[in-house]
Structure 1
Amino acid sequence: MDTPSTPVALAAIVHAGKGSADALLLEFIQALRAQHYRVYGLVQGPAIQKGDHSLRTVQDLDKGTLYPITQNLGTESSACRLDIGALLHASEVLRQALDSHADLVIVNRFGIMEADGQGFNDEILALIDKGYPVLTVVSHTYLPAWRAFTGGLAVELEPEHQALWNWFESSRQAA
């Protein structure tokens, strides 16, 4: 990431375990929307049960559409179940946010795909390049990759309501 000429409104909620920041993020989004802020992007969605297995999803905050992002590789498989094609399909939501006049864009995770230089990285860069505040979630596991990706320019937030509000207000003042 090149050093920008203006402050970057990019932050990650740093959490310790799977799903531990999801409820906080959804509550924050609801509170922002209650104050008429425009929040777009993707959040972790509910699992979809398909026969004897479940698929993880991401959900479009604007339309509510669910995008299954994992695939069934069988019960004996230990390979990564993320479906790259499905992630590409879901990334359209983030590309549409580029024209949304959003007050905040949510990217559900900076996870294994993003840590490997794939996933939603291009969309994150495009959003911040266009000046949108971007908020994501990152686990301690991927924190070193997050720091490398952002060049240390992103804010790392504790999973607390006040930390989210403080960052959001400061990102709005910087715009």
Structure 2
Amino acid sequence: MDIACIPLTGQVATDHLLNKVADRLADDGCRLVGALRVPVADAEMAHCDSTLRLLPDGMSIRISQDLGAGSSACRLDAGALAEAAGVAETRLTEQGADLVMLNKFGLSEAEGRGFRALISKAIESGIPVLIGLSDPHRAAFEDFTGAPANLLPADEEHVLSWCRNAAGAGHR
């Protein structure tokens, strides 16, 4: 099973890193499927707005909802997240991929939802997966995969090298 994780030490920095790697891989002709968070400025993180960029074409789906001023409830739009996951899974089934990339294994995935089915399908198909991983969800991730997390340093060249090597067998 080829699955590697980028530790989420700073969400904004990880978003930028994953998007840069995806763009470089796409320029190389690597067939990508998945979803990456559209990077925002640090100041915008306080609003918890999240939009996912679906790979390979960049279609965007906003997965956060405006709950109004003063709200402290979770802003995740579970329906929009399910839509994004469904689109990505359909793309993997219909178009195949050399690599699946996801911005993170988060609470939804830890609870059995989100992009979990896509990750399973990729693993079952022998397609490598690159995913962001935070410490709070590491145990759930390792329970799900049945293996310790393969953590890569948050370094663009190192991550790119892993991706190219992992995707090499299926990469055109």
Give the alignment's TM-score, normalised by structure 2: 0.82
Q: Give the counterpart of 2:83 among 89, 93, 104.
A: 89
Matches within 5 A, 1:66-85: 66-85=60-79
Aligned twin of 1:16: 9
Alignment check: 8 A CA contact 2:12 2:39 kept: no
Residues 1:25 and 2:18 are matched in the alignment: yes
Deviation for aligned residue 1:149: 1.8
Q: Aligned to 1:64, what secondary structure does the other structure show? A: coil
The structure carrying a bigger strand percent of its residues is: 1
Which runs of 5 or more structure 1 residues have no equivalent in the other structure? 1-7, 48-52
The superposition leaves residues 21-54 of structure 1 with CA deviations (integer Å, 9 ceiling, x where unpaired) of: 111111111221222211222111256xxxxx77
**Partner of residue 38, structure 1:** 31
**Alignment-mate amino acid for residue 144 of structure 1:** A
SS in 1 for 2:50: strand
1:165 aligns to 2:160 (yes or no): yes
How many residues align? The count is: 163
Unaligned runs of 5+ in 2: 41-46
Aligned 8 A contact 1:58 1:68 in 2: yes
Q: 1:114 corresponds to which residue? A: 109
The whole-number CA distance in structure 1 between the counterparts of 2:61 and 2:50 is: 8
**Given that residues 45 and 58 in structure 1 are in contact (C-alpha distance below 8 angstroms), is that contact kept between their aligned partners in structure 2?**
yes
Q: Quick one: percent identity of the two aligned structures?
A: 35
Shift of residue 163 of structure 1? 2.7
The alpha-carbon deviation at position 174 of structure 1 amounts to: 6.8
Is the aligned partner of 1:58 residue 2:52?
yes
Q: CA RMSD of the aligned region, Å?
A: 2.2
Q: Distance in 1 between matches of 2:74 and 2:48?
A: 14
Taking the aligned partners of 1:14 and 1:46, their CA distance within structure 2 comes to 16
Aligned partner letter, 1:20: A
Residues 55 and 70, structure 1, Cα contact 8 Å, conserved in 2:
yes
Q: Contact between 1:11 and 1:135, CA under 8 Å: does it hold in 2?
A: yes
Q: For the structure 1 residues 46 and 15, does the alpha-carbon distance in structure 2 shift closer, same or farther, using more than 3 Å as the test?
A: closer
What TM-score, normalized by structure 1, do the two folds share? Answer: 0.81
Q: 1:170 to 1:19 in 2, by over 3 A?
A: same
Query: What is the one-letter code of the residue matched to 1:103?
Result: D
